[in-house]
Amino acid sequence: MQSRGGVMSRILLSRWLMLAVAAGWGFAATPSWGQAPVGGAPKSKTPAATKPAPKAPSAPTTKTPAAASQPADPSALPPGYVPPKVPADLALMEQPIATPDEIESLKRSINAFKSALNKGEAAGAAGKDLIRKGIRYRLALMTLKANRDQIGTFREDLTVRELQSAGRLLRKADETTEFRRLVMQEVVDQSRELLQNNLYVRIQAALILGELNLTEADPKKGLTTVGFGPAIDPLVDVILDPNQPESVKIVAVNGIYRQLRTSQPEAKLKIKLADALVKEFSRTDTHFWYQWRLAAAISALDVSLDFNREPFVANALIQAVGDDKRQWIVRAEAAHALGRVPLEPSVNFDRLLFSIGQMAHGLGVARNADEKGNGALDWARCFRQLYLAFQPLDAKDMTADGKLKAGLLNRPTNQAATRELYQQILPIVNAGLNGEKIPDPALAALDAWVKKNTPAGAGVAQGNSGTTP
């Protein structure tokens, strides 16, 4: 959990920025426009790509154009983005979860709550009730209309200024963990109600669930930061709820992504989650931003087969990569995910490579057609994610199951064909990352590869429904 001060509060007040907030600006472990995911982006001014040895493919050269080297403006939206309208009753409705008298009563126990939280005291019914009251007080303040301008600050009173120190004074790691488990579960249970409140409250509740940690880093106790996996369950309910605005769903899926990368949810919950993410991602009637964040979350799934033993996760990603009706950023993120999810022997690897090659060619053609360089940050992200479909970001970038280094080049399947496609794509990535025109010879060579490697029954499509990511 990282403090974001009053920035999030002010952003939330501007409805036209609601999706920008939802996409993850300032949200730990979740990449957003122009920002690097955990671990950073490919370094600029890396050695020039030379003809590689078969076992050591080159990395792209990046001069990092000025536009791509600057951080994304948190007050700007991506080119062509039109925020969806939110029903006025959902944005403005008042639904406090406690009466003024109850809030005043809860307030009287807040100091005792803070003390018990730090000391790790929750013994007996009275101790648990004190924890419950403290959490309810913090959540109740978020539902008051008078507090809307400071709603982010009220969220951080709980998540940053209180929950981070829960169990801090306990001496043993196991005692700290079990106490924090009790506290975090209470937060999850009480937060469910807020996910049916007004739009502002729903977004804050989803942020809370995504930020919860079972343990905080404490070298003296040998503890590291570990997310709280059970928080995923109500977030799954959010993305499956047809009545939830996509702005709330995007925050929820960002929280899921963060929790997947920092915790180990129970097997039953992971199966429920995988089904939900694939189901939502397979829809094409949703906003591209939501699809983009779903693809990112899927990249952290270590579930690969459905109950029919079909590789449904990889199949959904392959379908998205090859779908020329989807935005480039979605297709590139899906390719990136294919470099990280487990790939079963039953995955059609020829079609996987063909889909990525076809997408990469179309991406280069579309980038060249965008003469004014509209949304240069977005194009750079597309080319970077395409590169990362083949290569790990760094030494810590592993497949979701932790068994292999990330990237298709590190898979034991079809290594020769994968390496051949990578070499065709590399000069396109180089130019794309540097904001340069994609060389015509490189596009022609990749086009020839795609035609030569077209699987039976697959057509060779050109272009995309839009000219920007």
Q: What is the pTM of this model?
A: 0.83
Give 120's Cβ-side CA count (13 Å radius): 16
Per-residue pLDDT, 175: 97
Per-residue pLDDT, 223: 97
Look at residue 146 and give its three-state secondary structure: helix
Q: What are phi and psi of 365, to 5 degrees?
A: -65, -45
Q: For residue 289, what is the enclosing H or E element?
A: helix 288-298
Separation CA 218–CA 239 (nearest Å):
33
Per-residue pLDDT, 88: 66
> Measuring CA to CA, which residue among 443, 405, 407 is closest to residue 425?
443
Per-residue pLDDT, 6: 40
For residues 385 and 397, is the Cβ–Cβ distance under 8 A?
no
For residues 134 and 114, is the Cβ–Cβ distance under 8 A?
yes
How many other β-carbons are positioned within 10 Å of the β-carbon of residue 66? 9
85 contacts: CB under 8 Å, gap ≥ 6: none
Q: What is the pLDDT of residues 353-378, one digit of tens each?
A: 999 999 999 999 999 998 666 554 58
Q: What is the pLDDT of residues 443-457, one digit of tens each?
A: 999 999 999 999 987
Separation CA 403–CA 81 (nearest Å):
38
Per-residue pLDDT, 97: 96
Q: Side chain identity at 42, as an amino acid letter?
A: P
Give 303-315 as a DSSP string. ----TTS--HHHH
Look at residue 405 and give its three-state secondary structure: strand
Q: Collect the ranges in the chain with pLDDT lower than 70.
A: 1-88, 371-377, 458-469
DSSP state of 68: H
- The neighbouring-strand residues paired with 218 are 223
> Measuring CA to CA, which residue among 368, 383, 283 is closest to residue 325?
283
Residues 75-111 as b or e (16 or more Cβ within 10 Å = b):
eebbeebebeebeeebeeeeebbbeeeebeebeeebe
450 contacts: CB under 8 Å, gap ≥ 6: 354, 357, 358, 361, 460
Q: What are phi and psi of 86, to 5 degrees?
A: -110, 130
454 contacts: CB under 8 Å, gap ≥ 6: 354, 460
374 contacts: CB under 8 Å, gap ≥ 6: 79, 80, 467, 468
Per-residue pLDDT, 124: 87
* Distance set, CA 366 to CA 295, 381, 437, 462, 468 (Å): 21, 14, 11, 10, 8
Angle at 381 between CA 352 and CA 64, to 5 degrees: 125
* Distance set, CA 93 to CA 145, 188, 204, 450 (Å): 9, 23, 15, 53
DSSP state of 56: B
